[in-house]
Structures are given as structure tokens and as C-alpha cells.
Structure 1
Amino acid sequence: MTINCKGTLIDLNVPRVMGVLNITPDSFFDGGKYKDEKTIVSQVEKMLNEGATFIDVGAQSSRPGAELISEKEELDRILPIVNLLINEFPEIVLSIDTFRSKVAEKCIEAGAALINDISAGNLDKAMLPKVAQLKVPIILMHMRGEPKTMQQQTDYNDLIHDILKYFSERIAKARSLGVHDIVIDPGFGFSKTLKQNYELLKGLDLLLSPGLPILTGLSRKSMIYKMLELDAKDALNGTTALNMYALQKGASVLRVHDVKEAMECIKLSTALV
């Protein structure tokens, strides 16, 4: 399993780490933490040095209940950061966390390499055609509704079956438009209860059936800190435990705030194969 990022084939048969850079003021863990260029460059350099293959930049919070900002505000937040990082790290593989096709287009034009869409093209019908036109990979995530309403939509007939059906439809749509490189993200914490998140993780290997790489975003999420009765800042150990489990279940990419610890998981998991 490979994806083509700006002409470089990245092999996802070897598990990879995606480091998270939130430039939002209200993200659940690191909101408002990276506000100036020096801090942003320092954090990205740290993640790259620790082994991150991808850096995922987001300017719109997707935490439960988050209000949507305007397209203009999202562009005003994210484009200067994309330009900054491409200038500082010319070889960086930047992922853009957005569901808006115009934001995707402008960021790819500025040098980003792939798109991470929490709605799998459902919130902007122009997204999948635009990704096909841009000839870049896309991460399709499972979610119902939008961040503000998603936690009101947790009724499933059969959780794993329903998610597989969702991906089957979204993958077929993307393929029909000419999108070649697809990664799927089961969307932990999105339109799912605490119990459902663990049911999904236990059945993660069933999502391998479409034959596509799986990205898991478990890092410091409420499914960890609520279960352990902690705060997000104290959820690194729990994150590491679940990342290891996800790797054993077939995850190809770990999307994390803490790159060093995720890389250690990959090294140990690989030794067990």
C-alpha cells in the first residue's frame, strides 16, 4: 500500500506517524498553544526529528460541539502557516485537515501534499472532484453530520457494518471521480459514544476489507481520559496503550500529538511481527 505525495511514493506497509499541529484557539488538547511562528516552527521541527512522516495542519476545530468558522477565516489562519512550513522545511509532507475544497486547493497550490477530510467529502460536494483534479491523496473519515451535531447521531444498526457501508459508498464515489490514493479513518470520537469507540477499536481489523490503509486518531481523546478519569494532558500513557493495540489490529498511520512515543510503539510492534 503506497500513496503518492508530490511525486514520492510513501509505503504504508510500514506504519507511519502523522504529527498534529492545531492552529485553532479551541482544540480540545492544544488549542491556542501554537500561536506564533517561532513556536510553530519549533514544534514541527521536533515532530519531524522524532520521526513523523506527515504533519497534519488544521485551522478549524473538529472537537464535539465546535462552531464552524468561515472559509475566509480558515484560509487566513492556515495559508500563512503552510507557506511558513514549506519555506522552513522544503521536504515536509503536509496534510491539510479541512472539509472545504477551496482551502484544500489553496493549500495544495502552496505546497501541501494531501488532504484530511473529516467528512469524507460530505460537507463540501466539490471536495472529491477537487482532490481528483489536484491528483493528491485524501484521508476519508467516518462522521455523521458536523462537529456541532455529531454526538447527537450515534444510533447504529450494527456499528462496524454501518461504517463499512459508509466507506464503501465514499470510496466508490472518490474512485468514480478519479481519486487514486485513499486512506480511511474510522473517526474515533466522531458520532460515537464511549462504548462504541471501544467496540470500533476492537473490530478495527474488519475495516481492512476494502484493502486501503487505515489511519487512527486516538491521541489524548476523551475515550481515553474519560475512561481513566483524567484530563487530556494526562492521557499520554493511555494513548500509547491504544496506539499499540491499533497497530496490532492493522493501523497504518497513527495521528498523534506525541510523535516520539508513537514511534516507539511502531518499533516495538514491528518487533512482534
Structure 2
Amino acid sequence: MPGLDAARPLGPIQWRPSQMPLIMGIINVTPDSFSDGGQFIAADAALAHARQLADQGAHILDIGGESTRPDATPVNESEELARVLPAIRAIIEQDLGCALSIDTYKANVAAKALEAGVHIVNDVWGLQRDPDIAKAAADHQAPVIINHWETEKQAGLGLIDQMKAFFDRSIAIAQAAGLSEDRIILDPGIGFGKDLDDNLVILNGLETLIGWGYPLLIGTSRKRFIGALTGREAQDRVHGTVASNVLALEKGASIFRVHDVAAHKDALAVAGAILNPQGS
């Protein structure tokens, strides 16, 4: 394994996970995402939002054209491409200095996005819904974010062991396609097929996941479990989200996928200085 001190290219960013946490800003070009559906579906609105996130300190912009909220309507490939490609092209033309990520599980959507200039593939199904997506990434040597999402729990396996088995399968798919280990990022998939207790177990046990040797992305932003703990609606969950991510930083996570970039830039800067005063 490359280890968490290895330098990794993420588009315009040269990154060492052990030294520099990254903020990934969310751009949903969807009509039905749980928190901001319909706000940024037009390319000009997506571009304005991208500028705002970049100005607030985002290192990565994650562009998605299909909602993954429970009971969301599936989107076919042509519709997803019609949503994401105009936004991608508009953002790339502005050269905001951020890496761009495509949030999709469809191989051809990933391929077209990479051809348009995207740098990273973020697959919520961990390369296992459409395994050709790994080859699409490998053709561009694009890093992949492998998200854990399983619809059924395996008898006789605890949650962390089940996640390890899932990630082992996904990593094998990535390597078979030609992706090197320094192109692999893991995401424990907070909220994806998991209840409140599952999410808390994962977040409390991040050291185990970090021990697997890959950078860890955390995506808690405004999610339902934070609402369950705070009683807040999605738009009012920023404080709970910040708390979860500061604790995840302390446990070793290095990428934070969020709606509220400015709040996280400040919180992670302060938390990082406290955790590593010699590096401040």
C-alpha cells in the first residue's frame, strides 16, 4: 500500500493525506436531492455555486446528476449526461483552481465527464454496480472514490468486517482495471443503507478504517442521522455536520464532502492547528 504520507495527484492538486485535509464542495445538478434539489440544475447556477464554493476554500468540486436520497427517481444515462456535462464544461472554462469530481456509478457518464476534463470518479456503489467504470477511470489514471453501499447485511459479519470485505472486492476491481493503489480513496458511506447506530459505529471506529492504508473521505453533510440527533431539518444541520467532521479529522479522515464549505474551512483549520500545533 502507498501509505498516507505518499503524494497523490488530484487534478491540479498535489496532496499528501497525512498533511492536508481537503474540502469537497457539493454541486447537485438535480431536481430532487434531499438538501438542495433544483437549486443548481441550470449550468449558470451550477457555475455560480462552483465559484462560491471555490472562493470559500473548496479544494474539490463534486458534480452529480442523480440523487441518491431514499426513494429518489432513477435517472437514465442520457438524462444524467444532459445534466452534468453543461455544468462541467462551464466550470472548467472558468479554471477555478479546484479538482473536479464526477459523482456517478455509470461507466459511460464517468468516461464522458473525464473526457470533458473531470479529474476524479466518485462512485457511490464502489465500482460494483457497473464494473466498467473502473476501466473508464484507469484510461485516464483518474483517482476513484470507493463508497460503501450494500443493500443487504451479510449474516455472521459485523458491520466493519462487512465493509472490509466490500472494499477488498472494490479494490480488486480497481487494480484489475489498471488503477494503482495511490489512485484509491475509501468512503465508508455514511447514510448509505445504514441506520443511526451504524453511522455512529463507523464514525467512532474510523481508526480501524484508516488502518487499511487508504485515504478516507467522510460524507456526513446535512444527513438524516444528524437530523435524528439534533431535531434539525436539512438546511439547519451545519453545526452537527461540523462536529462530526472535526471528530473525523481527529481520527484521521482527510477529505470532507460538504455543502457548507466556509464553515468547514474555519473549523478544520482550527481543529488541525490544535491537533498539530507544530504544523500551524
Whether TM-score is above 0.5 comes out as yes
The answer to whether the Cα contact below 8 Å between 2:127 and 2:173 also exists between their aligned partners in 1 is no
1:153-164 aligned within 5 A = 153-154=152-153, 157-164=157-164
Find the counterpart in structure 1 of residue 49 from structure 2.
43
**2:207 matched to 1:202?**
no
**2:58 matched to 1:56?**
no
| In 1, Cα distance between equivalents of 2:103 and 2:73 | 16
**2:130 matched to 1:131?**
no
SS in 2 for 1:183: strand
Question: What are the superposed Cα offsets for residues 167-212 of structure 1, whole Å, 9 maximum, x if unpaired?
Answer: 1221122123221201100000001111111111101111012211
SS in 1 for 2:230: coil
Alpha-carbon shift at residue 235 of structure 1 (Å) = 0.7
| In 2, Cα distance between equivalents of 1:90 and 1:269 | 26
**2:99 matched to 1:93?**
yes
**2:2 matched to 1:2?**
no
1:207-222 aligned within 5 A = 207-222=209-224
| In 1, Cα distance between equivalents of 2:195 and 2:167 | 19
2:233 to 220, 231, 234: 231
2:17 to 8, 12, 25: 12
The answer to whether the Cα contact below 8 Å between 2:24 and 2:58 also exists between their aligned partners in 1 is yes
1:111 to 97, 110, 117: 117
In structure 2, the CA distance between the partners of 1:154 and 1:227, relative to structure 1 (3 Å rule), is farther
Find the counterpart in structure 1 of residue 3 from structure 2.
none
**2:25 matched to 1:23?**
no
| Structure 1 portions without partners, runs of 5+ | 145-149
| In 2, Cα distance between equivalents of 1:6 and 1:228 | 37
Find the counterpart in structure 1 of residue 80 from structure 2.
74
Q: Which moved more, 1:189-198 or 1:28-37?
A: 28-37
In structure 2, the CA distance between the partners of 1:271 and 1:246, relative to structure 1 (3 Å rule), is same
1:259 to 253, 258, 261: 261
**2:176 matched to 1:171?**
no
The answer to whether the Cα contact below 8 Å between 1:194 and 1:223 also exists between their aligned partners in 2 is yes
Question: What are the superposed Cα offsets for residues 94-142 of structure 1, whole Å, 9 maximum, x if unpaired?
Answer: 1000001111111111111110000111111211122112211000000
| Structure 2 portions without partners, runs of 5+ | 1-5, 276-280
| In 2, Cα distance between equivalents of 1:133 and 1:266 | 34
Q: Which amino acid aligns with 1:249?
A: K
| In 2, Cα distance between equivalents of 1:18 and 1:232 | 18
Find the counterpart in structure 2 of residue 188 from structure 1.
190
In structure 2, the CA distance between the partners of 1:8 and 1:174, relative to structure 1 (3 Å rule), is same
- Identity of counterpart residues, as a percentage? 35
Alpha-carbon shift at residue 37 of structure 1 (Å) = 3.6
In structure 2, the CA distance between the partners of 1:118 and 1:201, relative to structure 1 (3 Å rule), is same
Question: What are the superposed Cα offsets for residues 64-86 of structure 1, whole Å, 9 maximum, x if unpaired?
Answer: 22221110100111111111100
The answer to whether the Cα contact below 8 Å between 1:184 and 1:212 also exists between their aligned partners in 2 is yes
Q: What number of residue pairs does the alignment pair up?
A: 266
Q: Which amino acid aligns with 1:127?
A: I
Q: CA RMSD in A?
A: 1.5
Find the counterpart in structure 2 of residue 147 from structure 1.
none
| In 1, Cα distance between equivalents of 2:154 and 2:184 | 27
Q: Which amino acid aligns with 1:170?
A: S
Alpha-carbon shift at residue 39 of structure 1 (Å) = 2.6
SS in 1 for 2:24: strand
| In 2, Cα distance between equivalents of 1:37 and 1:8 | 24
In structure 2, the CA distance between the partners of 1:223 and 1:81, relative to structure 1 (3 Å rule), is same
| In 1, Cα distance between equivalents of 2:98 and 2:269 | 22
The answer to whether the Cα contact below 8 Å between 2:41 and 2:83 also exists between their aligned partners in 1 is no
